[in-house]
Amino acid sequence: MPYTPGSGPDILSRLLSEEVGNEQGPIVVVENRPGAGTVVGTEVVQRAEPDGGTVLLVASSFVINPALHRGNYDPSKDFAPLCYLAATPMVLVVQGASPYKTLADLIAAARAHPGELAFASGGPGSSLHIAIEVLRRAANIDINYVPFGGTAPAVATLLGGHVAAVWADYPTVVAQLQAGTLRALVTTSHSRVETLPDVPTFAETGVSNYEADIFYGLVAPVKRPTPRWRNCQRRSRPRSRRR
């Protein structure tokens, strides 16, 4: 699990582990290894024995990171896809008591105070981070970005009043939205989320036509060819022995 505990992917992984147990399958241990925009946990699984005992829950950042030259893995060569699990919308949230009632209010405040408002998300280079950059460019606003290892710590920072808004995966913030401690301003879905009927999509705001969901799936490490010892020895020979 390359995300922090309490995040949307983490919740999904624990639900999945329970279902595997209910089907009398193997005992599943969820090990959180967040960091570097999911690269840390991903590379842990990349190095694991390809015996079926270790699998990786991935989201959109799994294929985004290599395009940003982050991490030393190839999604198509180092991993074998197992299954597609689910998808979730992304939602921009502010404090429930915030003066920002709409996305237009938040954009107006950012324009009135350039460089002062901070937006946060879980994972630099993730779909949530990209959503912030899309908003920044589409609305032509000057804001600060604060990355976190997962949505849960980003939301905690928002509730503490240290950032103005957070782009979040919906499962992580659904409880706070229902309780009123958070307010949703916009989603990136194609159409309105059924449980958020009053929250417009990006396209409906007129700011951008951007739409995207976060996908979740499972992959496993694959067995790669072992290099010949002769070639390996030639590459790894220490300089001191060539003196």
Q: Is 19 exposed, middle or buried (0-12, 13-18, 19+ CB in 10 A)?
A: exposed
116 in a domain, yes or no? yes
Displacement of CA 81 from its chain's centroid (Å): 18
Element at 169 (helix H, strand E): strand 165-169
Q: For residue 108, is pLDDT > 90?
A: yes
Residues 104 and 63 in one domain: no
pLDDT tens profile 115-150: 999 999 987 778 888 899 999 999 999 999 998 878
* pLDDT at 243 exceeding the cut of 80: no
CATH code, 120: 3.40.190.10
Give the domain range for residue 69.
8-87+216-236
26 or 225, higher pLDDT: 26
Helix segments in the chain, DSSP class H: 8-22, 39-46, 61-67, 103-112, 127-139, 151-159, 170-179, 202-205, 229-236
State whether 35 and 25 are in the same domain. Answer: yes
- Same domain for 29 and 127, yes or no, is no
Residue 200 in this model has a pLDDT that exceeds 80: yes
Q: Is the pLDDT of residue 64 over 70?
A: yes
Q: Is residue 2 part of a domain?
A: no
Same structural domain, 70 and 105: no
Are residues 182 and 65 located together in one domain of the fold? Answer: no
141 and 65 part of one domain: no
Answer yes or no: do 24 and 137 share one domain: no
Q: What pLDDT shows up at residue 224?
A: 56
With residue 93 as reference, give the H or E element that holds it: strand 79-95
**pLDDT tens digits for 154-169?**
999 999 999 999 999 8
Instruction: Look over the chain and give the mean of its residue pLDDT values, rounded to a whole number.
Output: 86
Q: Average pLDDT of 76-101?
A: 93
The Cα–Cα gap between 65 and 67 comes to: 5
For residue 179, what are its two tokens? 């309780």
Instruction: Supply the pLDDT for residue 225.
Output: 52
Residue 47 lies in a domain: yes
Read off the tokens for 132.
């912030």
Domain annotation covers residue 157 = yes
